[in-house]
Amino acid sequence: MSEINKRSSKSAGDASEYYVAYMLSRLGISAALTTSGSSAVDIIATIDGSKSISIQVKGSWARSQPRQWMVGKKRPHSSDTLFYVFCNVSEDIMNPRNPEVFIVPSKDVDDLSSWHHQVPLFKVSSDREGLYSDKWTLIEKALR
């Protein structure tokens, strides 16, 4: 097995954004990635153009337990059309497993993140895992 090179957090974010766009496309959802660093969201998604949602993607290299991601210093505006997708991707290119993905409504991110810390974090605890793990249906329902 080849040695695993450490990769940057930006690379984890980029890989996660492309993975989310890929999965949305597989579901028949058009996904447009925004220009890196130019927007508060990473992906705009729609099915037929009549309704769209915004997606903020947070990626990591699956190194830490519990699963946690930095969510930025500003609280999100809770909206039925804003979702966060948290991804844990493997650094090992030979690992055949799909990334671990959690789809979370912005209201839950607002309610559950540690905003009182210097670096606000969103953590997926084991008791909430089932609510968010691979819940692509949350996005599909929001677009209908």
Judge: domain 9-142, CATH 3.50.50.60: no
What does the domain layout of the chain look like in residue ranges? 9-142
Both tokens of residue 22? 């890929």
> In the structure, what pLDDT confidence band is assigned to residue 26 with cuts at 50, 70 and 90?
very high
pLDDT value at residue 1: 42
pLDDT tens-place string over residues 56-104: 999 887 666 667 787 877 777 789 999 999 998 877 777 778 899 999 9
Q: How many CA atoms lie within 13 A of 130 on its CB side?
A: 1
Both tokens of residue 83? 């979702």
Using CA atoms, how far apart are residues 117 and 121, in angstroms rounded to an integer? 8
pLDDT value at residue 38: 64
Is the pLDDT score of 33 beyond 50?
yes
pLDDT value at residue 6: 62
Is the pLDDT score of 5 beyond 70?
no
- Span 138-143, mean pLDDT? 96
Q: How many CA atoms lie within 13 A of 142 on its CB side?
A: 23
pTM of the model: 0.86
